[in-house]
Structure 1
Amino acid sequence: MAKKVIFFWVFLAFASEQVFSQPDQFIFNGFHGSANNNMSLTGVADISNNGLLCLTNTTSRVSGHAFYSSPFRFKNSNESKVSSFSTAFVFATVPEYPKLGGHGLAFVLSPSKQLSGSPSQYLGLLKANENGNSSDHIFAVEFDTVKDLEFGDIDDNHVGVNLNSMRSIASASAAYFLKNSTKKELLLGSGRQIQAWIDYDSPKNRLDDSMFVGFSASTGLLASSHYILGWSFNMSGEAQSLSLSSLPSLPRPKQNHTVLTLCLTFAAVVVIMSIVFVSFYLVRKFKGSDVIEAWELEIGPHRFSYQELKKATRGFSDKELLGFGGFGRVYKGTLPSTNTQVAVKRISHESKQGLREFVSEIATIGRLRHRNMVPLLGWCRCRGDLLIVYDYMPNGSLDKYLFDEPKRVLSWDERFRIIKGVASGLLYLHEEWEQTVIHRDIKAGNVLLDSDLNGRLGDFGLAKLYEHGSNPSTTKVVGTLGYLAPELTKTGKPTMATDVFAFGALLLEVACGRKPIEPKALPEELILVDWVWEQWQSGAALEVVDPKLNCDFDEVEAIVVIKLGLMCSNNEPDARPTMRQLVRYLEGEVLLPEVVPSPGGYDSKKGHGSGCTGTGATRFEDFVHSYPNSSHFDDKVGTYSPTYEDGDVDIEAGSRSTTPISISGSGNDR
């Protein structure tokens, strides 16, 4: 609905010398076509494609002017009478932010159509330093939407009459009247179409000479778009009213999509996060699920759930780590259901011990039952994680009590009991179980001690099974440097004799408190078995006994252990005793041979063969002379102590002697 606002004012005289002829009236229902040619635009003013005159846009601190291209003569030079005029126009002020508003516009009479006024509160009419200068000859009717105290504005929604100044000589709040003369407030910045009429009463005789008629508008920090939809002007009567239906339409207000954008963004983020969360959950659930394959049903030991073992080890926390080696890490755990302490061996993804060795280990020790072997409680396979659950051995591995600075010094009695226990366990593996089991990695680090310091053989990750009386298949060389029998690098075949060789190294390191290979020792003491053999030949065998015992040991038992260690370390497999013979020797059931052949197959002092090599080699059974012995050994009390810092060196190589041997530090397996 059009709103009609009528103003009457007195216009001051202006000086001008323009002489021309012009039409008395015009009407523009939009500014396309010929109307476009009759308008002069400056600043940011523009005419849209649909004929809408846009004085400003939402750009801050700009001005726009639009004048009828030809001036009108308001006073004839030969007459004193001033011509009357009437004008009507439809405008709209659309603030960028409706709640904050912006500056307004003005209908202008000016001697020039090139205005250079300032933006913001000056509406593009006057410069800030020229406000109130009578030489400007500017007459305007402002439709202002900002209350500027500097100019004495009555409010932020008013119409005022200005003469050469932004301070209005007359103003009133914008309003319109109903037919019953009821006054209604009119919001100039509502963004709606408003039709205004301005009539000049010529009898007042206030206008002079000729001037340009048009509009001016500006923006400040807060911008508004100012539009003129139609305009009529008449010098000889009342200006024709404009039909709103025939005028160009205002551009659709820019919809505030902030809320919608935020809602859509939030919804998208929620959806994406939900997808990520669900995917992560499904992957974790799928990865953490226990997938049982057919071959797993044939394995005897109890199968734990992955979540149960994860909870038992507190998520495989580093604080629960007992040790690690080439095959992975071992964690201490407590089963929540029974409150039983366990050791969980978690085989790493990069471990050389893959699924095949894992299956071999659990299939083997799952059926083995012996008091001197670490009992297997169960196992778990969860995708990439392979886990074996053992009974927890509170005293850890034997190497922690032998080398460097041990937890405490084991007495000779404790050492001898551990040796006999390990020998008994190996005899069970070699001869007493339904199949022959070759351990292939006997060393102090794989002998675990229970609460009573009994030795228990553990870590069957390299174990090899074959039927009694048959030959083991050729395989790659695996084990720990210093415990490997020399024939392994030639044949690659693990046998009971290769286990016996490793057991011999264990006997010597328990008796001497030294590793089979000691890089920090003197050159003549580098290889333990060579050094012990030299001392044996020189008659000083007891000098090799661990000095941490402070000579508190059973000399007879010590000689037995050293002698058996040398016999087991013979380079010839056939010259080594069997585990059954070793157990009988250790139990004192049979006498030991008096003569000990050289471990290397020759006597380094005498320079001749010992009869243990070549075709004329003397077999172990040929040594019948006894060493002083008894049916049992008296227990002696002693002490012992070293810590294990340097890791053992694991070896893995091909089955032939021409294949290179790779050496890598593996550390403790427990």
Structure 2
Amino acid sequence: MVFLLLGVMSLAISLVSGGDTGFIFHGFQSANLSMDGPSSVSSNGLLQLTNKARTQKGRAFYSNPVVFTNTSSFSTTFVFAIRPQYPAPSDLGIMAFVISPTKAFPDALPSRYLGVFNVANNGNPNNHVLAVEFYAVKNNESGDISDNSLNSRNSTPAGYYANRFQFQNLSLASGLPMQVWVDYDGGKRQISVTVAPIHVNKPKTPLLRLSQDLSQILANANYVGFSSSNGRLTALHYILGWSFQLNGEAQNLDARRLPKLPPHRGNEQSPVGLPLLSLCLIVLVSLPIVYCICWKWKFSEIVEEWEQDYGSHRFKYKDLYIATKGFREKELIGCGGFGKVYKGTMPGSKVEVAVKKVSHESRQGMREFIAEIVSIGRLRHRNLVSLLGYCRRKGELLLVYNFMPNGSLDKYLHNQPKVTLNWMQRFRITKGVASGLCYLHEEWEHVVVHRDIKASNVLLDSEFNARLGDFGLARLYDHGSDPQTTKHVVGTWGYLAPEQTRTRRFTTKSDVFAFGAFLLEVVCGRKPIEQVNEDECVILVDWVYELWNKGEIIEAKDPNLGTEYPAEEIELVLKLGLLCSSCQPVSRPSMRRVVQYLNWEMPLPDLSSLSLYSTSLGLSFGNYGLCDSTASVPSHVDQSFSHCSVAESLLSGGR
């Protein structure tokens, strides 16, 4: 318990009212410093701010004045270490980086007053001091955000972001050296603080960021340095190196040139605690070893050398396992032919994600597949679900997406939905998906063919805006080049273009065909293929086509829409669905043209002049083809394949 309590730490920024200079010290033997209290520099250049005496305060400031102005920016980095003398849950004091008008504080008090203020001047608006504080344990003597020091403008637990989602806690009282970066942008009026172990490069995400105008403080400031004080129990506060730059970026410290810390013999004043400390150490060392051995197989992953290039796109299986609570059924939010989808909350960052588990056919081609997944992860569009990254484990591939709170569109269209969408929402959804597909096909650096457009892969955010998701089957190729053929036909019944079953080639035109089926599904509230009985299916595109032939196409709308709808918009989307569902790829419009149609920027062509599809039920099955390589083909569908290629050259469309 003692060690757990030592691990409770915070960091805060306290603000009291409101010629370019640069220096760097790897050790302080020849540094130009003004020191008072117990502060001293050891023979190897180590700056020690406190000693073993209680309630003492020590300071060390750069002796030369720094000429700040009210528009100044500054950057500083330093390496420090806090070594407590007693492993107890009490006040170990505070260390702070300070910018102030003076380097002398004769009446200052220790502990929560930082060795800078006292009871009389605490809170005085004329102080003009900036302090970035580091303290090792909580006490409840003051009204700080974290119950620890002066009233801070902001505070946060100490730690660092290994990447966007993995937050690593830090124990400031561990006795190990830590590096801090403090940066203030005078133009943006923003200060940021970043902390990391000495062997870790500066994280891209700061630990703490605060928008604050420091112009009044800097206009009155002249000195930079450190102030440190012990509390009821003692800790030795060390500074190993320091770099500062006014109106620029501070020079990087070289860890190899920093002075070494003395051997850590903490607790030497408390021999009674040695047996307990030894027992705790044995337990703490033994338990992780046993735990790692038992769980190594459970969380084992496939990580090959070439994957190191993908950096933060690779998620740890353990993190995804924890996020989804062990992939338990209660977290299951979707299930399809290519895998199950689980809701999860990433440990540390608390970001909600959707994790899809899919099986790749073999390890052959995995490198190319992952390369495409990582490339697709760079897609950014308001109507696309962001693919955040992936994880590989044994025969599984896990894809990680942003979580959409309102789920997939299909649950609002089929099986007597509890919540139905009005026409305005549906029309906005169709335009959103069209815009996302136009981006994939024409506006990104590569051509991306989604290959699995359907209502269940259209997700809705908190405001029911459409986001096309599930890029597990997507493929990309360069603009101006020809798409490759695939080993298997993949997709979903009812959305497959007829040419895919013969050529096994994925193209933007096959995506347009699937989008046409999707448009009819959204307007009609019916699936592209519905089983009536064992021997009969209703093909949605045939049904809508017959109504159009009769001049009754508006009757295809979903009865759940009621009577409040603009008939011209419904007719537009239905006709566009028929146009996109043409049996001949050349007759299908591009997605850019589809967006123009939906925005009423140009009129639809006359459908009667196009070869669309057969009104024969058997031939329509041939148009849709096979949904994936593992599906069984019913006998009444097999017969249609031989007809489709002939039908494409013979059909003349409707009236």
Q: TM-score range by the shorter chain?
A: 0.3 to 0.5
Relative to the length of structure 2, the TM-score reads: 0.48
Relative to the length of structure 1, the TM-score reads: 0.47
Q: Larger radius of gyration, structure 1 or 2? A: 1
